[in-house]
Structure 1
């Protein structure tokens, strides 16, 4: 079942990750930015949030943020790679 009422995804630049907190659990996507490219290298979803769409919401918002900042995106994380394959609307971000 997909959760529709998630809170806001926030960028935590001090920890180089996007975070989505739900009921005290935090899903995260770690990244680094070099030469105008945001590379996502790790995504983690706590067991309590799995199957609720938290990781998809997190990555969707992170990709929108990259677009707003004029960054290209590279993924080495398997979840983000799969997400990008399922969502061609983000093809313009390929870097």
Structure 2
């Protein structure tokens, strides 16, 4: 699986997957990254790609020393299911 990257120009995390692009839009504040929307190409849904994208985004956010704010339902659910990210959940 490809690595998640932070496309700062587009304000989104991206993951190349199966010939498509999954992404998570975000807004930055001085101390947090607010993930506002996640999207996986329709043909690739149900394969865990969005989870891989969010996991990679959370790792990048943690490495930068920021908190994350879940601004979309998918990220809310992901954080609920993965308590190992409680330390960065804002």
Q: Smaller-chain TM-score range?
A: over 0.9
Alignment of 1:87 onto 2:90: no
State the number of aligned residues: 90
- Give the structure 1 partner of residue 16 of structure 2: 21
- 1:74 CA displacement: 0.4
CA offset digits 1:45-88 (Å, max 9, x no partner): 11121011100000001001100000011011100000000000
Q: How does 1:25-44 map to 2 (within 5 A)?
A: 25-44=20-39
Give unpaired runs (5+ residues) of structure 1. 1-5
Query: So what's the TM-score if we normalise by structure 2?
Result: 0.95
Mean Cα displacement is larger for which, 83-92 or 22-31? 22-31
2:72 equivalent among 63, 72, 77: 77
What's the C-alpha RMSD, in Å, of the aligned pairs?
0.8
Measured after TM superposition, the shift of residue 43 of structure 1 is 0.3
1:24 Cα offset (Å):
2.1
Q: Which is helix-richer, 1 or 2?
A: 1
Which runs of at least 4 in structure 1 moved beyond 3 Å after TM superposition?
Answer: none
Structure 2 segments unaligned to the other structure (5+ residues): none
